[in-house]
Amino acid sequence: MISPGNLRQSSHLLSETQRPLLVTHVAPDGDAIGSLLGLGWTLLAQGKSPTLACQDVLPRRFAFLPGFEKVVQDPPPGPYDLLIVLDCSDLDRIGQIGEVVGRDLPLLNIDHHVTNTRFGTVDLVAEDAVSTTHLLYHLLQRLNYSLDERIATCLLTGLVTDTRGFRTANVTPEILRIAVELMEAGAPLTTITRNGLDRRPLAALRLWGAGLARLQSANGIVWTTLPVSVQQTIGHDGYGDAGLANLLISAEEAKVSVVFTEQPDGEVEVGFRATPGFDVSRIALQLGGGGHALAAGCRVPGPLEEAQRRVLALLREDLARQRQQVSPDDKRHPQPE
């Protein structure tokens, strides 16, 4: 997960810094906040004076995390001696904070995304980590930094939210063993799962209701649309589809699911999900987007009805091709995931 060269370089930057600025991505999730705070507490324990920043307001459901209220949206001008960017596949992800910070600072890039562009002075990027906090856990171990209850709570939060509560296919026994160690250091698993996974604004539930009421299903494709007018009536804040695509793929009838979310500018955000054995990254790529085999997305021109027709036609063709390729293999995988 961490090469000796990477470890040496990261260790050097972390031991030399006195006033580091730590930044995570816009629209922050549990792993963004967990890795930001987890490394923040670690550096504080090492006698450093870290500043923690995120351009967007942190979702209130993470207020249980120690240090939540210390994260600033507009970091003071400094001076800083190191920029640490957490959980970002490229530097644009930190938003406008990137324009404020001096470009001449050494930059430590800590991330686990397969699409990371290696934008750091030192790139501590581990694609085999299930979360950025998973990578941080290994870094702390290798540097012999000790865990306390606060750090463990932050690290477990990223581990839990990025694996949807240990539900993704990359959860090995090692991940559960780390979870045990973090719990024994004081991390409250139930509080983390409850706040990180099982809480959402009423408006998100109403948006799901609107989407589910318009549910359609044919040929293994389950889909729905979210017109702007519906989003406005509900008072949805526009954070994508609020997880509706993940819900749709849970339908037993679905090989692939799609949510078409109309944008105020008339474009349509398309979120794809697939069940194991199918791949939606190719169609997303073909339409100018990207992603993984089981979760991908793109933006296409409106109007909504036309976008829906066009994407579903492409998807039907693509699925028919995939089915032909997949079927002979099916029998060799008696327990598909």
Picking from 251, 54, 38, the residue whose alpha carbon sits closest to that of residue 137 is 38
| Contact between 38 and 151 (Cβ < 8 Å) | yes
165 binds a second copy (CB under 8 A): yes
Q: What does DSSP assign to residue 169?
A: T
As measured in angstroms, the least distance from the Cβ of 211 to a second copy is 7
- Contact pick of 197, 300, 312, 326 for a second copy (by CB under 8 A): 197
* Residue that has been written with the tokens 């990223």 in this structure: 158
| Contact between 127 and 114 (Cβ < 8 Å) | yes
Cβ neighbours around 239 below 10 Å, total: 14
Binding region for a second copy (CB under 8 A) out of 28-36, 57-65, 116-124, 133-141: 57-65
* Residue that has been written with the tokens 């997960």 in this structure: 1
298 binds a second copy (CB under 8 A): no
Choose between 127 and 253: whose C-beta lies nearer to a second copy. 253
**Rounded to an integer, what distance in angstroms lies between the CA atom of residue 337 and that of residue 76?**
48
* Residue that has been written with the tokens 């003071």 in this structure: 76
248 binds a second copy (CB under 8 A): yes
- Contact pick of 184, 237, 305, 330 for a second copy (by CB under 8 A): 184
| Residues of span 61-80 touching a second copy by CB under 8 A | 61, 64
Instruction: Name every residue whose Cβ is closer than 8 Å to that of residue 204 and which is 6 or more positions away in sequence.
Output: 236, 242, 243
Choose between 122 and 258: whose C-beta lies nearer to a second copy. 258
Picking from 153, 91, 156, 94, the residue whose alpha carbon sits closest to that of residue 130 is 156
Sign of the alpha-carbon torsion through 191, 192, 193, 195: positive
Cβ neighbours around 52 below 10 Å, total: 25
DSSP secondary structure string for all residues of 96-113: THHHHS-TTS-EEEEE--
237 binds a second copy (CB under 8 A): no
As measured in angstroms, the least distance from the Cβ of 206 to a second copy is 6
Gyration radius from the chain CA atoms: 21
Site string for a second copy, 259-288 (x = CB under 8 A): -----------------x------------
222 binds a second copy (CB under 8 A): yes
- Contact pick of 27, 114, 180, 313 for a second copy (by CB under 8 A): 180
223 binds a second copy (CB under 8 A): no
Choose between 84 and 222: whose C-beta lies nearer to a second copy. 222
202 binds a second copy (CB under 8 A): yes
Choose between 180 and 313: whose C-beta lies nearer to a second copy. 180
- Contact pick of 33, 122, 129, 210 for a second copy (by CB under 8 A): 210
**Rounded to an integer, what distance in angstroms lies between the CA atom of residue 313 and that of residue 37?**
45
53 binds a second copy (CB under 8 A): no
| Contact between 178 and 217 (Cβ < 8 Å) | no
Extended strands (E) in 62-130: 82-86, 107-111, 122-125
As measured in angstroms, the least distance from the Cβ of 207 to a second copy is 9
Site string for a second copy, 82-121 (x = CB under 8 A): ----------------------------------------
137 binds a second copy (CB under 8 A): no
Residues making contact with a second copy (CB under 8 A): 60-61, 64, 165-169, 171-173, 176-177, 179-180, 183-184, 188-191, 193-194, 197-202, 205-206, 208-213, 215, 217, 222, 247-248, 250-254, 276, 334-337
